[in-house]
Amino acid sequence: MKGQGWNGAKCLMMYHNQDFYGLARGDCKMIHGKNVLGWMAPADNATVRNARHVKRFLAEMASE
């Protein structure tokens, strides 16, 4: 895509970690079945809520 490029560690640290699982642009189609062209970064509260869900899920998986 035109105009995309490295914007520093912000993208890497915010969007490429396990807490952001399911919220990334690439997850839009694969997990949610939505069009990636309409993707927008989620609000901070949505990211925090998602991180809690992921941590809870990982804890449940570790306990089994």
Token pair 């895509």 is found at: 1
Q: For 2-24, what is each residue's pLDDT tens digit?
A: 556 666 667 777 777 888 888 88
- Is residue 1 in some structural domain? no
- Is residue 21 in some structural domain? yes
Tokens of 64: 């089994």
CB contact at 8 A, 36 and 26: yes
State the average pLDDT over residues 32-41.
84
Global pTM reads 0.69
- Is residue 4 in some structural domain? no
Which 8-state DSSP code applies to residue 18? G
Looking at residue 54, its pLDDT comes to 93
CB contact at 8 A, 31 and 21: no
CB contact at 8 A, 20 and 50: yes
- Is residue 58 in some structural domain? yes
- Is residue 47 in some structural domain? yes
Domain count, the chain: 1
Domain of 39, in residue numbers: 9-63
Give the 3-state secondary structure of residue 46.
helix
